[in-house]
Structure 1
Amino acid sequence: MKIRVSQFVDFAYGDKRKDKAKVRSIIDALDLPYDPVRDRYKQFREALISFEDQKISTKEFLSLYSSVSANKSAGYKVLCQNYLDLKEDHALIWQGRSPIEAEIVGLHIATAWYLRTEANNQRRIIFLHFGKEQLPRKKERGLLTILRLAKPDSAGVGILNIQPGTLITATRLDQSEADYLRKRAEKFVTFAKDIKAGD
């Protein structure tokens, strides 16, 4: 079974009393068609690809905020500037929209937005987080562990929180966190099987 990394992280660190309801909501969401109206950062991601493919200039990328709705404008202005600043500060190399998938006890946890850096021929995977708020520390820790499980050959992994403008990195697998996530994945799969059997 494949779910998005954000869905699994929300389940893994959510209210355990509501586990079954959360699994059901995730399963139900998988059947819903993609709704571009609810995709707040679609225009930013598309502009980011165009910028990195050199189809638009830096000036055009930075002025993206002027072509989006009023409720997105301020956020987009910050996103574009932060992206350029963080890319320069951390020597980020664009890798495109590339899939990453971690398999944990039969649950395939997928994400598709990352960059990479290279230092001394060692690759670091950087996950792009587009959320309006910075991830809580426990979710950051869990996401880093998932990325390490998905890319064990990487010299390190990180989370680029574009909105707040921070980069969290880890170079070693957190074994205790990996064990916790395996238990949560087992719980997810168990509930998912029960729900599907009951449908």
Structure 2
Amino acid sequence: MKAIINVGLVGYGFASKTFHAPLIQATAGLDLVAVSSSDAAKVKADLPNVEIESQALALCKRPDLDLIVIPTPNDTHFPLAKAALAAGKHVVVDKPFTVTLSEAKQLKALALDKERMISVFHNRRWDSDFLTIQALLKKGTLGRMTGFESRFDRFRPEVRDRWREKATPGGGIWYDLGPHLLDQACELFG
């Protein structure tokens, strides 16, 4: 294993700016080398020492990158992860991993074939409410659990016009928040 893992980040929207870039920069052994973005000025304002690629697939072609992080619209996860794996890169994909089970199986097979790691990123594993419940369960404070209910409240009188909330393959609130609910339940109870 290399001492430093060079990372390429696909896109510089909310998830990249809020979660991925800060986490990569704060993690020993990771070096954020390049970001793909159509808005180089926005990236440079926050990350002046990072190289910019105008196209996401350009990151896959760079021999200096070891890991590609994909926090993009859900329907792009599969083709971007497939391209990164095919190029011999390790991959972290934002949740949901893919839009279909078939896509997930294809990525798993490709990762095994290429001997690369692929993982799903779930930012809600670090929410304070989740960490509190996790700690209480570990200590046995709550006793024997016989049920669990979880939800995310999100009230808006109107649906916003953005990819996370559109009725498209991989779009909508279920694809946006549902993976967090499932992941947290699996993390807590197996």
TM tier, smaller = under 0.3
TM-score, length-scaled by structure 2 = 0.25
| Higher percent of residues as helix | 1
